[in-house]
Structure 1
Amino acid sequence: MDLILQGFKFIQGLGPAVMMPIIIFLLGVCLKAGIGKSIRSGLTVGVGFIGLNLVIGLMSSNLGPAAQQMIEKYGLTLSVIDVGWPAAAAIAFASTVGTLIIPVCLLVNIAMLLTNTTQTVDVDIWDYWHFAFTGALTAILTGSQLIGMAAAILNMVIVMVIADYTAPGLEKHNGLAGISLPHGFSTAYVPIAWIVNKVIDQIPVVRDINIDLDQIQRKFGVFGEPILVGTVLGIIIGAVAGYEIGGVLTLGITLGGVLVLIPKMAAMLMEGLLPISDAASTFIETKFQNRGKIYIGLDSAVGIGHPITLAVSLILVPLTVFLAVVLPGNKVLPFADLAVIPFMFVLIIPMVGGNGFRALITGIITIASGLLISTNLAPMMTEAAINAHFKMPEGAMAISSICDGANPLTWIIVRLNDFGMIGLGALLVVAAGLAVMNRNRIIKEAKMLHSETTVE
């Protein structure tokens, strides 16, 4: 068992850029896509991830100092430090739940596929840390590693259902055919976006407001293109941060480049996935008639290239710092995770039909609630960090993060366990109910597809 666990820890340490090509290759071979196609697909996906990580790193390395400058300029003094998602992931994987999370989640995914309660083959193994994070905090709250693992499993079940539900919108608005995003952070904001969208639909005049970059680009030409939108937003952020003119212009050009390069890297990644996606569809159609469409589950980084996602995210960077100061009850100083704000919007955008105005309203609500959630979860995350021998930032008494410390789904799952077995039972009922509803939807969809094929 120790040898097996060490093997999974080795896999965790490889990171997605190495793991994904291997997984895609093995998946392609299993689906009979051919050795050559599988190798090319795996390597192309790996290169796509490297490109995405480089551009996202470029964005992070430029937004981070700008955020720090804002914090220093306006004298922000908040007691909980945002240490960022890499620290949160390391803390999650270092927990007892995190040690077992990969084999357990693989078994859960297989069980859901066999019972027809999901359409997603979740190959995004590295991002299982989101489920481990929920489990680790639950274990601290309850004092039980078993309950912690149960919370992590139920978290995954809920996320898989949401990933299936949002996949068609992801294809329509992001052009990601055959892809779903079972990402523990991004999926958590889907219910909020759904509610906000429904509420706005009931408000006259407001419901007619739409910010669509495609329409803006058609109307204003070059002035509506993502490269110019990113540049202008970068200049505004640099000015708010108090940069000198050179720094302002550099940040503007950099963020303009980010808005152009991220979609291109995502397109390359999709190029590698298409043969595998096609092979998966052919395999399912041949072997099963009640399975419906099968999606390849990936990291939500592949979806952040939508221009509205990036534009709204850049607007929210200075707004997040402002909200941190004025929001009653908040103790979190946002910093390291400001660059993950686009990941919040990957699935919000399809839910609001690509409407930038509704995305912005949803974003303000999610950021404000997220700061309060991260404040509430900070004591447990700090304890988890201490248990994992995480080196605390100098002078920090408590830590948290925007990802996943501000995750509303994580917060609900953890806090339900305040009610003991009643809370865990309620969570089990919700997860099971969603899984059954998803199964009914999948079977209905499969029958419709089968009947259409028969007619043709």
Structure 2
Amino acid sequence: MDTLLSGVQYVLNLGPTVILPIMIFFIALIFRVPAKKALRSAITIGIGFVGINLVISLLSSNLGPAAQQMVERFGLNLTIIDAGWPAAAAASWASPVAAILIPICLVVNLVLIFFKVTKTLDIDIWNYWHFIAAGATGYIVTGGNWWFAILCAIIYEVAVLWMADRTQPMVEEFYGLKGISLPTGSTAAFGFIGIPVGWLIAKIPGIKNIHVDPETIQKRFGIFGEPMMMGLILGIAIGLLAGYDVGAVAQLGMSMGAVMFLMPRMVKILMEGLIPISESAREFMKSRFKGRELYIGLDAALSIGHPANISTGLILVPITLFLAVIIPGNKVLPFGDLATIPFYVSFVVASRKGNILHSVLAGTVVIALALLMATDFGLVHTEMMKGVYEFPKGATQVSTLDMGGNFFNWVILKFSQAWAAIF
């Protein structure tokens, strides 16, 4: 088992920019895409993800220090550190159940497709870490029960695939991702709460008729409403809140403007590779399974290039820090996952058709709940991170918004604790 786990971890350490093109290439061949065309599409998709990761890295490397400065400036004293999704993913892959759960989750997906339970073929193997995290949660809480860990991972996977199927028409219409669904664990879980919350907010008198989207902003404010200018303005605002000097404020503003400008172009490159394969998959299903429809499940990174999504995420950064201070019972200091907020609100933004005001209000409610769930997850999350994460000085526990503040995973935590108490 140790040898198998080491081999799996070696492959996974190559990252999605290598794993995804390989998966795409072989799946394209299955769907009868010519080898040359399949190879070109796979490489193009890999390049697209390299570009997206570079832009996300630009976002993270600039938002992280700004958030830390805000924490120091306003004297926030919270004892559970938000370690960020990369640390949670690393802990998941390092868990004893990781190696066995990858093939199990893949087989479960294929079985569900065969029995028409789902239409999503989730080829985003890297993001299987969310399923594994659920399994690891069950494993830790029950004191090493393998069968229960497998059950937890499958329950989580089914919930994510269900959300991916239900949101696919919305994703296709708003983000233009034809035949693509987004079975990213955190995106699905935050959307599960965020979509109905957004629907309720859109019913509030006085708010329901206010529509603020990038197009409206650009039309009203001209050049200052363009995505790159919105990023510049939001970056400057965050820099001022962080107490930066004039030069650092300008640098942060330019970086956020660059994120808003570059992200849609990176997604466009990725889509250039995806379209031929998604079309072939659709034709393959039509010719062999009449009346069947198949969605290709990919990373929610495909959605964060939309200006409304990034704008909502950036506005929610200072709001998240403010919520951490004022919410009774919260002990989580948001940090590592602040740059990941656009992933969390992806379905919310799409459900509100890009209305930034409604999306921010819904996102505020969802983040508030996520902070409380992440606080409750602290002890188990800390146990899971031992040996793979260097705890910051003064931190008694660690958690994450991505895993600990994830509603699906929190339900798995409660389920595991109930099971452990009974059995």
Distance 1:259 1:51 in 2: 13
2:393 corresponds to? 394
User: Unmatched 5+ residue regions in structure 1?
Assistant: 425-456
On the 8 A contact 2:5/2:98 being kept in 1, the answer is no
1:159 corresponds to? 160
SS in 2 for 1:420: helix
Count residues in correspondence: 422
Pair 1:151–1:423, CA change in 2 (3 A) = farther
Could you list the structure 1 runs, at least 4 aligned residues long, displaced by more than 6 angstroms after superposition.
421-424
Distance 2:233 2:103 in 1: 46
Give the Å deviation of 1:418. 3.0
Distance 1:151 1:399 in 2: 22
1:418 corresponds to? 417
1:174 corresponds to? 175
Distance 1:56 1:351 in 2: 23
Residue correspondence of structure 1 range 321-360 to structure 2 within 5 A? 321-360=321-360
Distance 1:419 1:325 in 2: 30
Give the Å deviation of 1:285. 0.5
On the 8 A contact 1:101/1:129 being kept in 2, the answer is no
Instruction: Give the structure-1-normalised TM-score.
Output: 0.89
Distance 1:305 1:12 in 2: 25
Q: Percent identity?
A: 45
Give the Å deviation of 1:4. 4.7
Give the Å deviation of 1:92. 0.8
SS in 1 for 2:22: helix
- What CA deviation, in whole Å up to 9, does each residue of 1:318-369 have, x standing for no partner? 1111111111111111111111111111111122222212111111011111
2:88 corresponds to? 88
RMSD: 1.7
1:64 corresponds to? 64
SS in 1 for 2:391: coil
Give the Å deviation of 1:201. 4.3
On the 8 A contact 1:59/1:254 being kept in 2, the answer is yes
On the 8 A contact 2:108/2:154 being kept in 1, the answer is yes
1:197 corresponds to? 198
On the 8 A contact 2:191/2:347 being kept in 1, the answer is yes
2:135 corresponds to? 135
Aligned pair 1:232/2:233, yes or no?
yes
SS in 2 for 1:96: coil
Distance 1:389 1:288 in 2: 46
Distance 1:23 1:368 in 2: 37
SS in 1 for 2:403: coil
Aligned pair 1:300/2:300, yes or no?
yes
- What CA deviation, in whole Å up to 9, does each residue of 1:158-209 have, x standing for no partner? 1001101111111111111111100000001222223223323443332212
On the 8 A contact 2:79/2:394 being kept in 1, the answer is no
Distance 1:203 1:397 in 2: 41
Residue correspondence of structure 1 range 161-310 to structure 2 within 5 A? 161-292=162-293, 294-310=294-310
Distance 2:379 2:104 in 1: 27
Residue correspondence of structure 1 range 429-448 to structure 2 within 5 A? none
1:45 corresponds to? 45
Aligned pair 1:373/2:373, yes or no?
yes
Pair 1:200–1:316, CA change in 2 (3 A) = closer
On the 8 A contact 1:142/1:417 being kept in 2, the answer is yes
On the 8 A contact 2:198/2:348 being kept in 1, the answer is no
Give the Å deviation of 1:249. 0.7
Letter in 1 for 2:232: T
Distance 2:381 2:204 in 1: 39
Distance 2:334 2:83 in 1: 9
Pair 1:392–1:218, CA change in 2 (3 A) = same
Give the Å deviation of 1:392. 2.5
SS in 2 for 1:26: helix
Pair 1:138–1:62, CA change in 2 (3 A) = same
Distance 2:238 2:301 in 1: 23
Residue correspondence of structure 1 range 93-112 to structure 2 within 5 A? 93-112=93-112
